[in-house]
Amino acid sequence: MEEEEQVIGDFNRWRQRPELAEAVAAIKALTAVIQRSQASTMMGLEIELKNASEMLKAWDRSSISLSAGCDLFMRYVTRTSALEYEDINAGKSRLIERGERFGDISLKARETIALLGQDFVQDGCCILVHGSSRVVLALLKLAANNGKNFTVIVTEGGPKKTGMEVSKKLSAAGIPVTVIVDSAVAYTMDRVDMVLVGADGVVESGGIINVIGTFQVALIAHSMKRPFYVAAESFKFARLYPLDQQDLSISTGQEESSNPARDYTPPHYLTLLFTDLGVLTPSAVSDELIQLYL
Amino acid sequence: MPDLQAAVDDFVIKLKRRQVEGSLATAKSTVLLLRQVVSHQRIPSSGPASSLIDAVKSVGSRLIAANPMELAVGNMVRRVLHIIREEEATIVAAQVGVTPVSDSDDDADVHGVPGLSAVALAAANRTALRAPSLHNLLESLPTSAGANVEPVPESDTKSRCKSSDKNSKSWKLKHGVIDAIGLLLGEIENYHSEISEQALEHIHQKQVILTLGRSRSLLHFFREAKKKRSFQVFVAEGAPRYQGHKFAKELAAMELQTTVITDSAVFALISRVNMVIVGAHAVMANGGIVAPVGMHMVALAARRHAVPFVVLTGLHKLCPLYPHNPSVVLNELKSPSQVLDFGEMSDCLDGTDGSPVHVVNPMFDYVPPELISLFITDSGGHNPSYVYRLVAEIYSPEDH
Q: Is A75 on the interface with B (CB under 8 A)?
A: no
Which residues on A lie below 8 Å from B109 (Cβ)? none
Reduce the DSSP state of residue B210 to 3 states and report it: strand
What pLDDT, on the 0 to 100 scale, is given for residue A83? 57
Out of B122, B324, B325, whose CB is closest to A112?
Answer: B122
Identify the band that residue B102 occupies on the pLDDT scale cut at 50, 70 and 90: very low
Residue A78 pLDDT > 50: yes
Same fold, B2-96+166-186 and B203-394: no
A279 vs B contacts (CB less than 8 Å)? 285, 322
DSSP string, B38-102: HHHPPPPSSSHHHHHHHHHHHHHHHHHHH-TT-HHHHHHHHHHHHHHHHHHHHHHHHSTTSPPHH
Q: How confident is the model at residue B138 (pLDDT cuts 50, 70, 90)?
A: very low
Q: State the Cα–Cα distance between residues B113 and B108, nearest whole angstrom.
A: 8
Q: Could you tell me if B285 and B324 are in contact, meaning their C-beta atoms sit under 8 angstroms apart?
A: no
Residues of A in contact with B392 (CB under 8 A): 287
Per-residue pLDDT at B105 exceeds 90:
no
Nearest of B117, B102, B26 to residue B63 by alpha carbon: B26
Chain B residues within 8 A (CB-CB) of chain A?
Answer: 117-119, 121-123, 125-126, 128-132, 137, 140, 142, 285-287, 322, 324-325, 385-389, 392, 397
CATH number of B2-96+166-186: 1.20.120.420
Distance CA(B391)–CA(B359), nearest Å, equals 37
Q: What is the pLDDT of residues B298-354, one digit of tens each?
A: 999 999 999 999 999 999 999 988 887 666 667 888 888 888 877 777 777 666 667
Spans of all domains in chain B: 2-96+166-186, 203-394
CATH 1.20.200.10 fits A121-293, yes or no: no
Question: At B141, is the pLDDT very low, low, confident or very high (cuts 50, 70, 90)?
Answer: very low
CATH assignment, A1-109: 1.20.120
- Contact (CB<8Å) B125/A277: yes
CA distance B312 to B285: 16
Longest CA–CA separation in chain B, Å: 83
- Over residues B275-294, the mean pLDDT reads 93
Cβ distance A27 to A99 under 8 Å? yes
Q: Taking residues B145-163, what's their average pLDDT?
A: 40
* Position B78 pLDDT exceeds 60: yes
Distance of alpha carbon A40 from alpha carbon A85, whole angstroms: 12
A82, A271, A277 member nearest B122 (Cβ): A277
Q: H-helix or E-strand containing B374?
A: strand B374-377
> Could you tell me the CA-to-CA distances from A180 to A3, A94, A128, A130 in Å, in that order?
47, 51, 10, 10
Q: Which residues of A touch B132 (CB under 8 A)?
A: 79-80, 82-83
Chain B residues close to A287, C-beta within 8 Å: 388-389, 392
Taking residues B208-235, report their average pLDDT.
93
* Residue B285 host element (H or E): none
Rg (chain B; Cα; Å)? 25
Give the C-alpha separation, B86 to B334, whole Å.
39
Q: CA of A226: which chain B residue's CA is closest? A: B368
CATH superfamily, domain B203-394, is: Translation initiation factor eif-2b; domain 2 (3.40.50.10470)
pLDDT number for residue B208: 96
In one-letter notation, the amino acid at residue A106 is S
Backbone angles phi, psi at A20, to 5 degrees: -85, 135
Give residue A191's identity as a one-letter amino acid code. R
The size of the A-B interface in CB pairs under 8 A is 76
- Neighbour tally for A78: CB within 10 Å: 16
Which residue type is seen at A41? T
Cα-trace Rg, chain A: 20
**Would you say residue A164 has pLDDT above 50?**
yes
Instruction: Write out pLDDT tens, residues B205-220.
Output: 999 999 999 998 999 9
Strand order in the sheet with A262-265: A201-202, A208-211, A262-265
Domain boundaries, given as residue ranges, for chain A: 1-109, 121-293
Q: DSSP of A233-285, one letter per residue?
A: -GGGB-S---SSHHHHHHHHT---TTS-SEEEE-GGG--EEEETTEEE-HHHH
Please say if the pLDDT value at position B136 is more than 50. Answer: no
Distance from CA of A132 to the nearest CA of B (A): 24
Q: What is the mean pLDDT of residues A276-294?
A: 84
Give per-residue pLDDT as tens, A244-277. 888 876 666 656 567 788 899 999 999 999 998 8
Gap from A160 CA to chain B (nearest CA, Å): 34
Q: Model ipTM?
A: 0.78
Mean pLDDT, range A105-130, rounded to an integer: 90
A234, B137: Cβ pair inside 8 Å?
no
Cα B216 to its chain centre, rounded Å, is 16
Q: What is the pLDDT of residues A185-218, one digit of tens each?
A: 999 999 999 999 999 999 999 999 999 999 999 9
